[in-house]
Every structure is written in structure tokens, then in C-alpha cells.
């Protein structure tokens, strides 16, 4: 081989060698998760990760998670959302409306996937379900409509009911459609609805004392007010209490009518998968649930001295004895 040709070949090899040495593994995307501190958030977190694992995402191998909970202090949500934005997560998953609102205010660039959000249009999170617009999509629960369904359940359970309360979380953007839907459903079946605006969980004690004093026949509790404490207060004051949130009944509430959670979180994971593969949130329609669960706590009914009609028990997906 001629000397000049050898030098040229050697020089070409020298250029190629460093490429082997500096090759970097593909960057592992991070999913940021922001939740409202509630017993149901643990169920979501467990199911959601398992659903993503079924789609091939293995934590520590091809996906990472950054989980943030307000731990029952909704005032922390804006800072927690900002923290996830600073970490430049690939997608931000928001569980419950207050978390979703904080996420949207924190970023207009990072894709946001909603889950367990009651009314994304009414709360201004998306432009429409079919065409969300912006950087937000996800799965809605139809929570306001389910709250209205609770009014019908009260009529079926207590035919004599004439006046009920809608216990709403004043700091939650979902409180407006929540109260509006209940207030519209009541008069149609001869029930007067008293909106009760509560300043978060700390205001529950005085609110239930007032509900008892006013002798309301029943109360529908907004999920972001929590589950265990309002369920305990309802038993203490002997007030039939319903929620759209299943966890409320598991904690001692009387009845719930809620989205089938396994389906909802599976669909949430599927949408996250689409986003990670490059689809734009603005072009992914917001999905709505098609399956719902009626859960009745018969033990609580007995403690309240109520007899649940057999027709209602027969329709229940689960009866807690």
C-alpha cells in the first residue's frame, strides 16, 4: 500500500473511532405526575403505572417517574407543578381538577394528560372534547353529570326527600359545574338544592353542623373535599351522604356513582403512550367513560336507620356489608 493512501485510510479511521467511544444511550423520558392528596390517588398511581407497564414501559429502563402530591394542601399545587416543569418532564399527568388547573397554568409547552377531571370544558382546561386545542388532553369523568345522577339516587332511596345540600369545595374550579348540575337536577324531581360552599377540608366540621341544624334530607359531597372525614361527619350527624367518588363509600359514605376506574386509568395510560410517541395533545380527543359503578354501603345505611329499596340494591355493582 502506498504511504499516502495508508495515511488517508488511517486518518479516516481516526475520525470514526471517537464516534464509537462517545455513543450515548437514548434518553429515557420522564413522566411527571401531579395529584390532589386523597385516598383515591394511591389507587390511581398503582393502576396507572401497571397499565403503562403493560404497554411496555418499565420503570428505570425506558421510563422514569416524578410523582408529586399536595398531601391535602391544595395551595402547594402551583409550586409542585412548577417543579415538574423545571425538570422538563416529557409529559405531565394531572389527577383531579385542581391539579390539572395548576398544571395548565404552569406550562403551555409540555403535554398535559388529564385524568379524573370532572368537566374539562366548563373549567377551561380544553376548548372542546373533540378538539382540545393547546397542550392538554386526557380522560374526563363526566363528574358534573354523575353528581346530577346522585340527585336521582336520593329520590329513589328517600322518596320523602325535599331538600338536599351540595357540599362544594370553594377552591376547586370544578365546584361551579358540580353545583350547577345538581341545582338543575333537583327541581326537575321536586327537590330543592342548597349549595354549601366550603373552604376546603378545614371547613367540613362547621359545614356539617350547619347541614344538621338545617335538617337537610341528604348531602352530595364534592370529591376534592376528601372521603374519610366527610363520611365520618355524615355518620356523626346521621345525614345520608353521597359522592361521585367510590373511595367515599369505602371510607363509610352511603353511596357513590363513579366511573369504572380500571377503564379510566387504562385509557389514560394509552393517551400518555400516544403523546410519548409524538402525537400532539391538541389532536387527541378527550375521552369520556362508558362504564360506571353504583356502590352502596349497607353497613352505613343500617347505622343511619335507612332501608335501601331492593330495586336499588339489585342495580348496585357492589354492596359493602
* Cα–Cα distance measured from residue 303 to residue 235, given in angstroms and rounded to the nearest whole number: 8
Task: Tell me if 151 sits within 8 A of 307, measured CB to CB.
Answer: no
CA 141 to each of CA 46, 144, 262, 292, 314: distance values in angstroms, whole numbers, following the listed order: 19, 8, 12, 10, 24
Distance of CA 69 to the CA centre of its chain: 13
Q: Cite the beta strand spans of the chain per DSSP E.
A: 30-35, 64-69, 91-95, 112-117, 136-140, 163-169, 192-198, 218-221, 241-243, 255-259, 292-297, 318-320
Model pLDDT, residue 201 = 84
Name the residue among 111, 119, 102 with its Cα closest to residue 137. Answer: 111
* Cα–Cα distance measured from residue 226 to residue 200, given in angstroms and rounded to the nearest whole number: 9
- This prediction's pTM: 0.84
CA 285 to each of CA 39, 131, 271: distance values in angstroms, whole numbers, following the listed order: 28, 6, 10
Question: What count of Cα atoms within 13 Å lies in the side-chain half-sphere of residue 297?
Answer: 24
CATH architecture of the domain 144-259+293-320 equals 3-Layer(aba) Sandwich (3.40)
C-alpha cell at 55: 404497554
C-alpha cell at 257: 356513582
Profile the chain (321 residues) by mean pLDDT over runs of 10 residues: 39 38 66 90 94 97 97 92 98 96 97 94 94 96 92 96 97 94 96 95 94 97 94 97 94 95 96 98 95 96 96 96 89
Model pLDDT, residue 83 = 98
Longest distance between any two alpha carbons in the chain, whole Å: 105
Give a three-class secondary structure readout of 139-168: EECCHHHHHHHHHHHHHHHCCCCCEEEEEE
Burial (CB count within 10 angstroms: exposed 0-12, middle 13-18, buried 19+), residue 238: exposed
Domain ranges of the chain: 30-141+260-291, 144-259+293-320
Name the residue among 33, 27, 29 with its Cα closest to residue 113. Answer: 33
Name the residue among 288, 11, 246 with its Cα closest to residue 138. Answer: 288
The predicted-structure confidence for 96-126, as pLDDT tens digits, reads as follows 999 999 999 999 999 999 999 988 998 999 9
* Cα–Cα distance measured from residue 199 to residue 219, given in angstroms and rounded to the nearest whole number: 17
CATH class name, domain 30-141+260-291: alpha beta
Amino acid at each position: 500500500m502506498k504511504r499516502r493512501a495508508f495515511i488517508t485510510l488511517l486518518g479516516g479511521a481516526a475520525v470514526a473511532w471517537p464516534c464509537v467511544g462517545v455513543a450515548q444511550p437514548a434518553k429515557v423520558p420522564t413522566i411527571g405526575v401531579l395529584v390532589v392528596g386523597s385516598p383515591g390517588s394511591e389507587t390511581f398511581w398503582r393502576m396507572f403505572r401497571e397499565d403503562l407497564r403493560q404497554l411496555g414501559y418499565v420503570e428505570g429502563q425506558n421510563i422514569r417517574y416524578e410523582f408529586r402530591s399536595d398531601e391535602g394542601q391544595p395551595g402547594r399545587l402551583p409550586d409542585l407543578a412548577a417543579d415538574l416543569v423545571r425538570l422538563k418532564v416529557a409529559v405531565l399527568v394531572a389527577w383531579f381538577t385542581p391539579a390539572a388547573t395548576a398544571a395548565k397554568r404552569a406550562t403551555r409547552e409540555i403535554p398535559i394528560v388529564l385524568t379524573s377531571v370532572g368537566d374539562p370544558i366548563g373549567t377551561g382546561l380544553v376548548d372542546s372534547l373533540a378538539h382540545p386545542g393547546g397542550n392538554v388532553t386526557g380522560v374526563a369523568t363526566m363528574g358534573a353529570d354523575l353528581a346530577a345522577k346522585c340527585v336521582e339516587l336520593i329520590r329513589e332511596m328517600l322518596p320523602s326527600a325535599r331538600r338536599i345540600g351540595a357540599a362544594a369545595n370553594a377552591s376547586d374550579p370544578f365546584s361551579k359545574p358540580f353545583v350547577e348540575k345538581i341545582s338543575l337536577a333537583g327541581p326537575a324531581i321536586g327537590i330543592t338544592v342548597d349549595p354549601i360552599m366550603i373552604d376546603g377540608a378545614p371547613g367540613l366540621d362547621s359545614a356539617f353542623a350547619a347541614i344538621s341544624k338545617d335538617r337537610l334530607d341528604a348531602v352530595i359531597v364534592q370529591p376534592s373535599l376528601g372521603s374519610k372525614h366527610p363520611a365520618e361527619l355524615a355518620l356523626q350527624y346521621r345525614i345520608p351522604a353521597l359522592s361521585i367518588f367510590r373511595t367515599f363509600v369505602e371510607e363509610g359514605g352511603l353511596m357513590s356513582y363513579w366511573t369504572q376506574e380500571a377503564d379510566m386509568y387504562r385509557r389514560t395510560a394509552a393517551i400518555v403512550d400516544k403523546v410519548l410517541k409524538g402525537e400532539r395533545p391538541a389532536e387527541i380527543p378527550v375521552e369520556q367513560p362508558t362504564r360506571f359503578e353504583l356502590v352502596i354501603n349497607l353497613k352505613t345505611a343500617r347505622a343511619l336507620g335507612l332501608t335501601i329499596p331492593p330495586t336499588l340494591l339489585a342495580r348496585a355493582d357492589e354492596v359493602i356489608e
